[in-house]
Amino acid sequence: MACDKGFSSSYMLLKPEEVRFLDLIRILFSSNVEERKFVDYCRVGAAAEDLNFRQRWMIFISILAQKFLLFTSTLLLWFGSGFEMWLNLVSINQNVGRLLLNFVQGKVVKPDKASETFLSFIGNLDRRLELDSSIKYGDPRYYGALSMMASKASYENKAYIEKIVGDHWKMECLGTHDFWNEYQEKATTQAFLLRDKTDDYETIVVAFRGTEPFNAEDWCSDFDISWYELVGVGKIHGGFMKALGLQKNLGWPKEIQNENDTNSGHNRPAVAYYAIRETLRALLSKNDKANYILTGHSLGGALAILFPAVLVLHGEDSLLERLEGVYTFGQPRVGNGKFGEFMEKKLSEHNIRYFRFVYGNDMVPRLPYDDKDLMFKHFGTCLYFNRHYEAKIVEEEPNKNYFSPLGAVPMMINAFWELVRSFTIPRKKGPDYKEGNFLRLFRIIGLVMPGIPAHSPQDYVNATRLASSHVFLPSQDNPSLDQIV
């Protein structure tokens, strides 16, 4: 069978919306996946029968997870909305005791989801608003620290982002956006842009929002192990490309029709990659000395590093030359080894620095698996931080695939000391590092599942502030690989 997607030489596409339970079970016992409508598989020089049992098991788990998420999406959204409302209700009334007193007195203050004070689940884990005043422009830590705070802010509503960027950071918010995902047929990708400008420099920050804890579509993008192989580039994660703006049956055409154009007969939000590219073109054209950085936490980090990959495909050399760096935090793997080699070469050609922050036992950077069956691999400079926020420059984070029976007990012990640290760190590092009770409760989960609280933004913000500046210097000035700094 010829592989005909117009832009991809080989691919494996999962379609959970078309699967029936019995068909899903049969895939475990039959290697002929071509008979399954929910798997569109084509690999040049290989047949579908080449899929071994473990690969079919991964397909089974991926589709089962997506089916469950789609089935429970409304319930998940309802629960998340209610839980966030409760957290903000307690916060705006100071505490639970005060809330009960206000209820008795009929003076309960009700939160407004669109207000500048309303915080998401992620925002409630780390409520810090201010940038670290000790890290100024020119400090090697500056871009990393600013990027992580922007990545954290990207989870919040428009009013909050505009307030924090303008009033607290004294920068300019250039817009918050909900972008269209053509495959999910919803606006499920979010990002915002800010500008840090003085008489001496101008930096634009593009921050992609990560996975919202109660958003089924976001989790489907994470669990979708579909991939496309581009000639000369490598295999790339399908779910992340779809979130960035991959076009059905077209892939990545250099230009697309503006769906917001009334003459087109459509009224959809813009697509992330194309809209952000046009915005950057316009902004950078006004100042020859301006540059920009890309950032994101979790899923947002995956989108941040895929953005320059598509710029390379389109030959956007002028935009690549103005890209100062890519800073990602808790980012999952986005492609195979060949794609990593391709990107490292292109990033080097355009002198683009790519820092991939990994804290402790965060499970997200260890997914999808890096093994012979899934073949996903990281690339770039990995800054690995232990629970003391000491940084190592490593080729790959320890325990690279997370799930290890031998590693379970040490991870749980480490999670216990992280919980203890939540009480002691304000005395050692100052009041800016104080953790709230909600985060401490969240850390208790780490005693059973260490990789979950380790993914929270608190530890990544701390890492960017407490790290030695040496890890951000050019490679010739860096300590040797694996040296703690």
Given this model, what pLDDT does residue 6 score?
Answer: 62
- Is 133 assigned a catalytic role? no
Which range, of 271-285, 361-375, 432-446, averages the lowest pLDDT? 361-375
For residues 351-358, give the mean pLDDT. 97
Given this model, what pLDDT does residue 259 score?
Answer: 55
pLDDT 10s digits, 297-345: 999 999 999 999 999 999 999 999 999 999 999 999 999 999 999 999 9
> Residue 422: is its pLDDT beyond 70?
yes
pLDDT band at 5 (very low <50, low <70, confident <90, very high): low
**Which member of 147, 154, 226, 298 is catalytic?**
298
pLDDT 10s digits, 170-180: 999 999 999 99
pLDDT, mean over the chain: 89
Given this model, what pLDDT does residue 284 score?
Answer: 97
Given this model, what pLDDT does residue 124 score?
Answer: 95
For residues 145-173, give the mean pLDDT. 97
> Residue 485: is its pLDDT beyond 50?
no
> Residue 481: is its pLDDT beyond 80?
no
pLDDT band at 479 (very low <50, low <70, confident <90, very high): very low
- Domains, the chain: 115-226+239-253+269-472 (3.40.50.1820)
**Which member of 10, 362, 422, 456 is catalytic?**
362
Given this model, what pLDDT does residue 160 score?
Answer: 97
- Is 455 assigned a catalytic role? yes
> Residue 35: is its pLDDT beyond 70?
no
pLDDT 10s digits, 70-127: 899 999 999 999 999 999 999 999 889 999 999 999 999 999 999 999 999 999 999 9
**Which member of 132, 455, 456, 459 is catalytic?**
455
Helix H, strand E, coil C: the string for the chain is CCCCCCCCCEEEEECHHHCCHHHHHHCCCCCCHHHCCCEEEEECCECHHHCCHHHHHHHHHHHHHHHHHHHCHHHHHHHHHHHHHHHHHHHHCCCHHHHHHHHHHCCCCCCCCCCCCCCCHHHHHCCCCCCCCCCCCCCCCHHHHHHHHHHHHCCCCHHHHHHHHHHHCCCEEEEEEEEEECCCCEEEEEEEEEEEECCCCEEEEEEECCCCCCCHHHHHHHHCCCEEEECCCEEEEHHHHHHHCCECCCECCCCCCCCCCHHHCCCCCCCHHHHHHHHHHHHHCCCCCCEEEEEEECHHHHHHHHHHHHHHHCCCHHHHHCEEEEEEECCCCCEEHHHHHHHHHHHHHCCCEEEEEEECCCCHHHCCCCCCCCCEECCCEEEEECCCCCEEEECCCCCCCCCCHHHHHHHHHHHHHHHHHHHHHHHHHCHHHCCCHHHHHHHHHCCCCCCCHHHCHHHHHHHHHHCCHHHHCCHHHCCCCCCCC
> Residue 260: is its pLDDT beyond 70?
no
